[in-house]
Structure 1
């Protein structure tokens, strides 16, 4: 067991007593407990996951009700969590860690807690296969769709471009902040030379794009070291597999986890009820966003600098025994 895993288990054990006491005193509420979950734009993976989770909670027949709220995604979600307009949120790990530490794009630390790390995003840098762009450096002076304002895609795209420095000594990259559908349209019509996306594999919109426009996925795994050195271990080397998007061989890229997050004042018993549904229905939920992923406690508790909610501590401690 690695040291971070052991430390996280110690955190889980240490928090059990207080969390169990709070949960036991609260009991299960009589009337429904309604929670608002910040997801992402309509048609995106966060929105699909959030709606599927809301449906799973409703089918469970318990006291919880979840409303999936459409948003611009990660950054927007955590700002809504901070101002109290939502109770739960989905966000990429790099954005969540930036929030708790007060690092860009946040101007101060944001109080939030983690319920689970649910799956890993793969960073896609997509260009036309017949075009001249074969490496990040080739983007100098070109137009790149780099994610919608308020999205985690925008954060990782900006960090990759800074790490690569494709504009050094040449024309800078021209960024357009577009959501996934608009980015796909821009690449297809030629008004963008490349698009960034961070999501599960395969992402349906990109699969559809690749059916009509042969694409190339630029390798990004060479930038993982620089990103980890500057931003910590939220980034990892992962692979886009051969076969996805018409790829003839695997392409190394950047992985970043996705967290299910909550305000600290969400009751412990509510969190435990929600996690029970999440772990009971994870196959159905992850089918909405990425193929072949699994959700296990040892994976789910790996939330880095973002502290686990006391109710999540109690849930995971009960799983470990």
Structure 2
């Protein structure tokens, strides 16, 4: 119900402020973290930036979001660091179509790859995917980009199983109904769609071995080891080793410098309000942003970091 209230609040604010600057924030599906986080950010923009309102938009997530930034159809977008890096450099899904005018305001929190099956399943690891029905994420999503990298690095291709391209809610529903055998999420934990699934069915979150994590990290330099803590979801009674990827708040270089400054300032100086929306925002810190952002920062963001006393690495300067 919270996410509905954010969307409603943003819509009402839009209707009441026709003369305001109305910003679009490209997020993801409603069952992930991008949408509620984007809704919380929209509230901060409307509350703390004079003459600005914002709306969180449902999208196909990372790959689509960077295309929207390239086309300036969205003002801000949340996307996985590997997708942002590929977009900026014209590699991967963006081979031959680099988004060279992409800039970052910050890396805002890490996604964790979460691979879920039902407790009654005979799937205990990646090697058990062969011949199974596995959701690899929505088309155009960072989840699919991450899933492909992890699987390819560990010798598993789409030919080895039946890939299903479902969003987070669809993946949870398909697992619940027995229409698939396992699913990938790349999202800030905990996420509502897995929480809801675990409340109705016994689940198992699949661990990655140290060797699998090492192989995947060699495939994707932005990957880092991560531990999903016991108790994260109902019935999850042990820590689960996996991989994390930073999430980046991206904009186009054409964004007004003062606006970029004001958004960065509102986000960091009122982060407690974002944490109240979703616990992933506990990682929204200048230190995390400056250590894990994969592309240059917008000059407006740089101005806020420096005014706040932080040292911006040379590699993050346009």
TM-score (norm 2): 0.85
- In 2, the alpha carbon distance for the partners of 1:305 and 1:120 equals 13
**Which region of structure 1 is more displaced relative to structure 2, 45-54 or 291-300?**
291-300
State yes or no: 1:41 paired with 2:29: yes
Are the equivalent residues in 1 in contact too, given 2:49–2:263 (CA < 8 A)? no
Give 2:173's aligned residue.
Answer: 185
CA deviation string 1:106-136 (max 9, x = no partner)? 1232120010111111110001112111110
The match for 1:162 among 141, 152, 156 is 152
Using a 3 Å threshold, how does the CA distance of structure 1 residues 304 and 59 change in structure 2: closer, same or farther?
closer
Where relative contact order (Cα < 8 A, 6+ residues apart) is larger, the structure is: 1
List runs of 5+ in structure 1 lacking aligned partners.
1-30
Most deviating of 128-137 and 64-73? 64-73
Per-residue deviation, 1:267: 1.1
In the TM superposition, 1:1-321 aligns within 5 A as: 32-60=20-48, 62-107=50-95, 108-111=97-100, 112-166=102-156, 172-220=160-208, 222=210, 223-232=212-221, 234-245=222-233, 246-291=235-280, 293-320=282-309
Separation in 2, partners of 1:289, 1:165: 35
Deviation at 1:304, TM superposition (A): 4.2
SS of 2:105's equivalent in the other structure is strand
SS of alignment partner, residue 28 of structure 2: coil
Shift of 1:291: 5.0
Whether contact under 8 Å (1:147, 1:154) holds in the other structure is: yes
CA distance in 1, matches of 2:305, 2:209: 32
Whole-Å Cα distance in 2 between the matches of residues 34 and 291 of structure 1?
26
Distance 1:203 1:44 in 2: 6
Q: 1:5 maps to what in 2?
A: none
Q: Is the 8 A contact 1:74 1:91 kept in 2?
A: yes
Once superposed, which parts of structure 1, at least 4 consecutive aligned residues long, lie more than 6 Å away? none
Deviations 1:120-154 (A, max 9, x none): 11110001112111110000011101100011111
Query: What SS does structure 2 have at the residue aligned with 1:244?
Result: coil
Deviation at 1:287, TM superposition (A): 4.0
Report the alpha carbon displacement of residue 281 of structure 1 after superposing the two structures with TM: 2.2
Matched position secondary structure for 2:91: coil
Q: 1:163 to 1:290 in 2, by over 3 A?
A: farther
Q: Relative to structure 1, is the Cα distance of residues 91 and 129 closer, same or farther in structure 2, using a 3 angstrom cutoff?
A: same
1 CA distance for matches of 2:255 and 2:292? 18
| Long gaps (5+) in structure 2 | 1-18, 311-318
| Rounded Cα–Cα distance in structure 2 between residues aligned with 1:173 and 1:99 | 28
Q: Deviations over 1:69-99 (max 9, x none)?
A: 2211110000111112112111011111111
Query: Which has the larger Rg?
Result: 1
3-state SS, counterpart of residue 269 of structure 1: helix
Secondary structure of 1:59's partner?
helix
